[in-house]
Every structure is written in C-alpha cells, then in structure tokens.
C-alpha cells in the first residue's frame, strides 16, 4: 500500500480515495431517497382528512432544540476531523463522543415529538399528511440512530488501532454521513416545520 504523505491521512492511499468516492455515490442514492420522501410529503401535506394539520400539532420549542443540537453536532464532528488531521487522537475521540451525545439528545427530543404527535391524534394511519410526515421524520431518525452506532464503532476502532490511513478514512466518511444528516434536517426544519407553522 503506497501512502502519499502530501495528502491528509484519510486520502493518503488510492483505496482510501476510492472509498470516499464510493461513499459520495452512496450519498447520491440517499439524496434520491430523501428527495422522494420530501416530494411525497409536499404532495400530501394538504391531505389531512379528519386529522390535524401541521399548524395544529407542531411545537416550535422541540424543533428549535433539535435544530440547535444537530447543527452543534455538525460543528463538533468538524472539530473532530480537524483534530484527526493534526494527529490529536484523544481530541478527535472526544469531539466524536460529544457529537454522539448531541445525536442522542436529538433522538430523545425526536422520540418526545413522536409521542406528542400520537397523543394528539396524529398517528401513521390518521391521514396521508401524518403518514408522510412521520415516515420522513422516522427515516431521518433511523439514519441518526445508525449514525450513533457507526460513530461509536469508529471511536472504539480509533482507540484500539490509533490514527491510521484505514481508521481516518472510516472516520472521515462517517463525518460526511453526519454532515449529510444535518443538511437533510435543515430541509426538514425549513420546509416541513417552518412552512407547516405558517
């Protein structure tokens, strides 16, 4: 394995570069998935039947907390990647751990939201609107849950093996995934919640 020391460690081998390219292609598929969910939501947003509308069920406080927590986690994962690039293993692991804690907080608030929606009569079978809403939010939440397990695996691997071309490549790819989830959330915040509250 030839290592190019002029590049950041996560890009330093040809295999690492191919892994990153492959992950960008995977993110393209994820964009299509969420694009389809958003298109479905926008098509069904006014089909509330006898169920509540977004303006009737959305609470701004939990949504603002989720947004703040997730955007902060995007910052901490960026700090983790920076620490990784300058060879500070403990700092990298700490920032990744903070990111995961913030992800857990986000998930806790999202679970609270789901319970609230069901409590006010906005379950999956209530209307086309609530089905599209809960499917979109649930898919994002499932991706965050997967990210929490993946991030924990990365931290454990870096702790055991150190900052190698292989572990830094995996950590960098994870950071791309986490940033992607944040971008999806910005769309959810802007076009589902804010628009729904108007």
Could you read off the pLDDT of 62-73 as tens digits, one per residue? 999 999 999 999
Residue range 112-121: average pLDDT? 92
- Is CATH 1.20.120.80 correct for 79-198? yes
What integer is the mean pLDDT of 150-176?
95
| 189, 95 Cβ separation under 8 angstroms | no
First-residue to last-residue Cα distance in the chain: 56
Domain extent listing, the chain: 79-198
* C-alpha to C-alpha distance for 133 and 45, rounded to whole angstroms: 8
Q: Work out whether the CA dihedral 54, 29, 100, 80 comes out positive or negative.
A: negative
| 4-58 residue pLDDT tens | 555 555 666 777 788 888 899 999 999 999 999 999 999 999 888 888 888 889 9
pLDDT for position 29: 96
pLDDT at 3 > cutoff 80: no
């Amino acid at each position: 394995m030839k290592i190019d020391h002029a590049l950041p460690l996560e890009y330093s081998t040809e295999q690492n570069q191919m892994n990153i390219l492959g992950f960008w292609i995977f993110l393209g598929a994820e964009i299509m998935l969420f694009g389809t969910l958003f298109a479905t939501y926008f098509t069904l947003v006014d089909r509330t039947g006898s169920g509540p509308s977004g303006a009737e069920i959305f609470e701004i406080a939990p949504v603002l907390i989720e947004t703040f927590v997730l955007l902060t986690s995007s910052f901490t994962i960026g700090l983790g990647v920076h620490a990784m690039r300058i060879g500070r293993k403990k700092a990298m692991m700490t920032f990744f751990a903070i990111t995961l804690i913030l992800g857990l907080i986000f998930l806790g608030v999202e679970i609270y939201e789901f319970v609230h929606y069901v409590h006010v009569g906005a379950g999956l079978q209530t209307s086309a609107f609530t089905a599209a809403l809960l499917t979109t939010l649930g898919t994002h939440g499932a991706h965050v849950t997967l990210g929490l397990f993946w991030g924990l695996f990365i931290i454990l691997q870096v702790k055991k093996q150190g900052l190698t071309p292989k572990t830094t490549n995996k950590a960098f790819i994870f950071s791309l995934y986490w940033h992607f989830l944040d971008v999806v959330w910005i769309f959810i915040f802007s076009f589902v919640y804010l628009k729904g509250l108007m």
